Amino acid sequence: MNMEKTFRMAAATFLLALCVGCATSRSEIDVVAPSLAQPAASATSKGKVYISATDERVFEAKPSQADIPSLKNAEIGDSSITQRAIGRKRNGYGKALGDVLLPSGRTVSALVADSVASAYKQAGYEVVSEPSTAGATEIKVRVKEFWSWFSPGFLYVTVNNKSRLDIEAAGQKKMEIVTLTSDGMQAVTDSDWKAITEAGLRQIAEETANKL
């Protein structure tokens, strides 16, 4: 056995050892939505908006690609689980393992709504908490895609997050937000899932702000 082959086998074994273990279980990770810089208090408001978001992601039991949402125990029909799902762990060979979920009571749609709200605030809008607020325009956010995943590599893995949103309001042209962020590392821990998912949410906020 030549040195190069020996090195490759050792590297693969190392990555496999790092990724197995807790990777087979379900993790619950508390993710925080971003807060963009806000306009000065003296700035004139562009109006009131109410942000609502719906989770329209499509989950598959055995997806052909890691960037397609899935769950370990095929709970794809249980919205109480899918609405909290943000990623799926995998071993060093790319085999799907445990799930990555938000804590009970937290949802992807709420996090995305908070990210979009941060963008509207930065753009000079007043974001209200009640849809019946006088003079408020409802901003509907449809979450078509939002997922974190990792791709195995030779000496390191790449952890990614992607999103695709449709943002709609009466009398306004539909706004599509598409984001993708990635980071390379030797192994993916719970803190890495948190970091990449929060980075994806920040990209949503920044991209939305750029289009307002």
Q: What is the pLDDT of residues 145-201, one digit of tens each?
A: 999 998 876 677 889 999 999 999 998 999 999 999 999 877 778 999 999 999 999
3-211 CATH choice from 3.30.1920, 3.40.50, 3.90.660, 1.10.357: 3.40.50
**Which of the four pLDDT bands, split at 50, 70 and 90, describes residue 144?**
very high
With a CB cutoff of 8 Å and minimum separation 6, the contacts of 28 are 101, 102, 103, 104
**Which of the four pLDDT bands, split at 50, 70 and 90, describes residue 2?**
low
**207, 179 contact by CB (below 8 A):** yes
User: 3 burial class (0-12, 13-18, 19+ CB within 10 angstroms)?
Assistant: exposed
CA atoms within a 13 Å half-sphere pointing along the CA-CB vector of 176: 4
The phi-psi region of residue 28 (left if phi > 0; otherwise alpha if psi is between -120 and 50; otherwise beta) is beta
DSSP 92: T
Express each pLDDT in 113-132 by its tens digit. Answer: 999 999 999 999 999 999 99
pTM: 0.86
Express each pLDDT in 25-43 by its tens digit. Answer: 789 999 999 999 888 776 7
CB atoms under 10 Å from CB of 175, counted, come to 17
Express each pLDDT in 88-100 by its tens digit. Answer: 988 766 778 889 9
